[in-house]
């Protein structure tokens, strides 16, 4: 019985949302964002890049039916669990973690709304990126990053939903 439990645990497939989330994080950590496009290589800058990549995937999966909507929620929950874990690893106390995660949630959903509005209207993407990623540099050139967002959105649109949900994600 003990051996069968171990074998069963070893044979389980990883959580699909976790796999996709890990691929999103890996994509968000690409050097090009930080070295070439001047995204601050800080906790806030990395949060912004993960949030942007997650937004693009969530937006791509939108409207794909109830099962995919459930998956989108699990993927979002995975993101917030990771933020909680990261804060604890950085030494934030248990009492403060909830408040900080709540602020991160507000920041994330604000970004989601700004990016969604900019993409649906066809205007304001550069302003939204500059305001969210470069709040201390209002003159920052974000044209290359905005072009990347548009290109990534097109690439994501060509990807099959099931494969994407399985973690096979490409942004460009």
| Tens of each residue's pLDDT in the chain, 172 residues | 443 444 344 334 459 999 999 999 999 999 999 999 999 999 899 999 999 999 999 999 999 999 999 999 999 999 999 988 887 787 766 677 778 878 989 999 999 999 999 999 999 999 999 999 999 998 999 999 999 999 999 999 999 999 999 999 999 8
According to the model, what pLDDT value does residue 87 have?
A: 78
* pTM given for the model: 0.88
Q: What are the boundaries of each domain within the chain?
A: 16-165
CA 44 to chain centroid, in Å, comes to 13
Nearest CA among 4, 45, 18, 22 for reference residue 137 = 45
Residue 65 structure tokens: 């039916």
Q: Are 79 and 54 in contact (CB under 8 A)?
A: yes
Cβ neighbours of residue 164 closer than 8 Å, sequence gap 6 or more: 20, 57, 60, 61, 156
According to the model, what pLDDT value does residue 88 have?
A: 75
According to the model, what pLDDT value does residue 93 have?
A: 67
According to the model, what pLDDT value does residue 7 have?
A: 39
According to the model, what pLDDT value does residue 19 have?
A: 95
Q: Which residues of 94-112 are buried (b: 16+ CB within 10 A; e: fewer)?
A: eeebeebbeebeeebeebb
């Amino acid at each position: 019985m003990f051996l069968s439990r171990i074998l069963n645990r070893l044979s389980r497939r990883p959580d699909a949302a976790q796999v996709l989330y890990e691929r999103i994080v890996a994509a968000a950590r690409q050097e090009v964002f930080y070295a070439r496009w001047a995204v601050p290589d800080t906790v806030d800058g990395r949060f912004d890049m993960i949030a942007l990549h997650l937004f693009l995937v969530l937006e791509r999966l939108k409207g794909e039916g109830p099962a995919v909507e459930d998956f989108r929620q699990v993927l979002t929950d995975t993101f917030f669990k990771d933020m909680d874990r990261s804060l604890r690893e950085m030494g934030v106390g248990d009492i403060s973690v909830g408040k900080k995660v709540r602020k991160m949630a507000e920041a994330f959903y604000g970004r989601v709304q700004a990016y969604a509005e900019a993409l649906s209207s066809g205007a304001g993407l550069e302003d939204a990126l500059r305001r969210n990623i470069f709040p201390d540099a209002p003159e920052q050139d974000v044209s290359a990053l905005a072009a990347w967002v548009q290109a990534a959105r097109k690439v994501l649109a060509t990807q099959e939903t099931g494969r994407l949900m399985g973690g096979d994600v490409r942004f460009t």
